């Protein structure tokens, strides 16, 4: 570590503190000992120097460093990187806001706490939470996880109005960029007709695609078997229903 620090100091002197070099040295320190920057004080120092010079990657890494230590600082640096269209920063900023609605959220986002605790929190349902905006920006900039998160925001109807078509459209987008979780749930959406026209052939095709990517098992609930058409009917009957599973 001492040799690395000496090399970094020399690089900084030679480059006049160039932000790109500082970022590279921060990444070098980050990878030299740890898997996570949150444990690496040396990396933080280099990232902070580069972040202050405007390097978006360093701003993002510095934000991630602070997520578990100081959420206000995490927000500050992730926001700076997000405003420079850094897709991972936009995604992590969205998750930070979503997971800490009292600290960063609007009245809209605090509604989730009301829903989970039974408290009556009024809010303007036409005012989408800030984190949805950042998920959408992240998705548009190529992040592979954002479409899946957006899909489930519209599937549960807690914060925004439930919208199965948007749910399915985000799953399709996630599948297109290689999110295997989106592919799995898109297969189920086609099997059940959730947000898309029910199409078992399409469902099987997405199952096959998921299997080719390494998914080993799809579990089907008992609604596909016996005469399970209601909660009180055919419980435990695992005889395939030929109308629902013709093949």
- Residue 247: the pLDDT is 63
pLDDT for the residue numbered 119: 45
C-alpha distances in Å from residue 16, one per residue of 32, 53, 91: 24, 12, 32
* Predicted pLDDT at 47: 85
**Global pTM?**
0.72
Confidence at residue 26, expressed as pLDDT on a 0 to 100 scale: 56
pLDDT the model gives residue 20 = 63
C-alpha distances in Å from residue 188, one per residue of 162, 164, 169, 221, 241: 18, 13, 14, 11, 17
Query: Tell me, what's the pLDDT at 102?
Result: 75
Return the pLDDT at 154.
93
The reported pLDDT for the residue numbered 64 is 93
pLDDT per residue rounded down to tens, the chain (247 residues) = 444 444 444 344 344 556 666 556 555 555 444 444 444 777 888 889 889 999 999 999 999 999 989 999 999 999 999 999 999 999 999 999 988 877 775 544 455 545 545 444 433 344 568 899 999 999 999 999 999 999 999 998 777 889 999 999 999 999 999 999 999 999 999 988 999 999 989 999 999 999 998 888 776 666 666 776 676 776 767 677 777 666 6
Rounded to the nearest 10 degrees, what angle do helices 56-66 and 19-33 cross at? 40
Q: How far apart, in Å, do the first and last CA atoms of the chain sit?
A: 62
Q: What's the CA gap between 70 and 95, in Å, rounded?
A: 15
Q: How far, in Å, CA of 110 to CA of 122, rounded?
A: 9
* pLDDT at position 144: 96
């Amino acid at each position: 570590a001492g040799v690395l620090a000496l090399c970094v100091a020399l690089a900084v002197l030679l480059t006049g503190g160039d932000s790109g070099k500082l970022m590279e040295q921060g990444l070098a320190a980050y990878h030299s000992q740890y898997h996570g920057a949150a444990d690496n004080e040396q990396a933080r120092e280099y990232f902070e120097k580069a972040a202050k010079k405007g390097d978006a990657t360093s701003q993002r890494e510095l934000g991630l460093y602070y997520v578990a230590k100081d959420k206000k600082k995490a927000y500050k640096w992730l926001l700076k990187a997000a405003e420079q269209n850094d897709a991972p920063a936009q995604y992590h900023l969205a998750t930070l806001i979503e997971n800490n609605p009292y600290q960063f959220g609007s009245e809209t986002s605090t509604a989730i706490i009301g829903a989970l605790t039974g408290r009556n929190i009024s809010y303007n349902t036409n005012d989408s939470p800030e984190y949805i905006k950042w998920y959408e920006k992240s998705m548009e900039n190529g992040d592979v996880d954002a479409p899946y998160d957006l899909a489930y925001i519209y599937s549960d109807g807690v914060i925004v109005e439930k919208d199965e078509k948007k749910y399915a459209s985000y799953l399709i987008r996630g599948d297109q960029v290689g999110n295997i979780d989106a592919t799995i749930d898109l297969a189920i959406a086609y099997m059940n007709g959730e947000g898309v026209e029910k199409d078992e052939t399409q469902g099987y095709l997405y199952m096959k695609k998921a299997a080719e990517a390494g998914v080993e098992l799809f579990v089907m609930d008992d609604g596909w078997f016996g005469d399970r058409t209601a909660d009180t009917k055919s419980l435990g009957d695992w005889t395939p229903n030929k109308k629902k599973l013709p093949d």
